[in-house]
Amino acid sequence: MVIKPKTGWFDIHLGEIWRYRDLIGMFVKRDFVTMYKQTILGPFWFIIQPLFTTLVFTIIFGKVAKIPTDDIPPFLFYLSGNVAWGYFATCLGKTSDTFNTNAAIFGKVYFPRLTVPISSVVSSLLQFGIQFILFLGFYFYFMAKGAPLSPKMWIVGLPVLLLQMALLGFGMGVLISSMTTKYKDLRFAMGFVTQLWMYATPIVYPLTLVPDWLRPWYVLNPMVSVVESFRYAFLGSGIIAWGYVGIGWFVTLVILFIGILLFSRVEKTFMDTV
C-alpha cells in the first residue's frame, strides 16, 4: 500500500458520503435539537417568520407602494414567494458557515466534511414542510373566497423545485464557506448579499414588471425560475418558459460543481487558516 497526500482538484469521493449516511442523520437531529431545545415557541418560529414577513410585504409593497400582483391576492402572492425563498435562504445560511462553526469537530476526527452541509440542507426540509402547510392553509382559504386561482399540472414538479433549491443553496453555501476560511469579510457580507439576492428575485413583484430587454439577463438568477414555477403551479400566474427553467438549472449545476470542487480543495488545509 502506498500512502501519499491527496492534493488533486478532483479528489472527491462521493461514495464515502453514502457510507456515512448514518452520520448525516445524527447531524440532522443535532441541528434541530440544538436550535430549538431552549426556545419557548420552538418550531412555531417557522410559522411566525414567514407570516410576519408576508404581513409587512402586504402593507408596504401592496398597500403603500401598490405594486401589482397579477390579480392574485397580495397576501397569498407574497407568502408563496417567501415560502419558496425561505428554504433556499435557510440552506444558504446554514451551509455558508460550515468550516467556521464546525472547526472544533473537523480538527479532531475524520469523516467526509460534505456530510455537514448536506445535513443542513436535509434538516431545513422540516422548516419548508411546516411553512408549506401554512401556505396551503391560506391557499384553500382564498380559493374558498373565490380568488382567481388556477392550479396547474406543474404542481407535480414540486420535488424538482425543492431539489433545485437544495442544490443551489448547498452549492453556493459550500462555495462561500470555502472562501470565508481565507476571506473573513464574507461572513459579515452574507446577510447583505442574501438580502440583495432576494430583491433580485421576483418575491415582492411579478416577473411581468421586469422589462423585456433585461429579462434574458435577469433569469440568470436561478431562483427566478424556481419562484415563478412555484407560483405558476399553485396560483396560475407568472411567466414560465422551458428556456428560463433550463438556464436556471444550468447555472445551478455550475455553482454546485464549482462549490464542491473548491470545498474539497480547501478542506485539506482549512485548519491552518480558520
In the chain, how long is the greatest CA-to-CA distance?
72
* Domain ranges within the chain, ordered by starting residue: 14-272
pLDDT at 212: 86
The three state secondary structure string of 15-62 is HHHHHCHHHHHHHHHHHHHHHHCCCCCHHHHHHHHHHHHHHHHHHHHH
- Mean pLDDT, the chain, rounded, equals 82
Q: Is 76 helix (H, G, I), strand (E, B) or coil?
A: helix
pLDDT at 38: 58
pLDDT at 37: 64
pTM over 0.95: no
pLDDT digits (tens, 9 = 90+) for 217-255: 999 999 999 999 999 999 888 777 788 889 999 999 999
pLDDT at 116: 82
CA distance 139 to 199: 24
pLDDT at 230: 92
pLDDT digits (tens, 9 = 90+) for 46-75: 788 889 999 999 999 988 888 888 888 899
- pLDDT (average), residues 200-209: 89
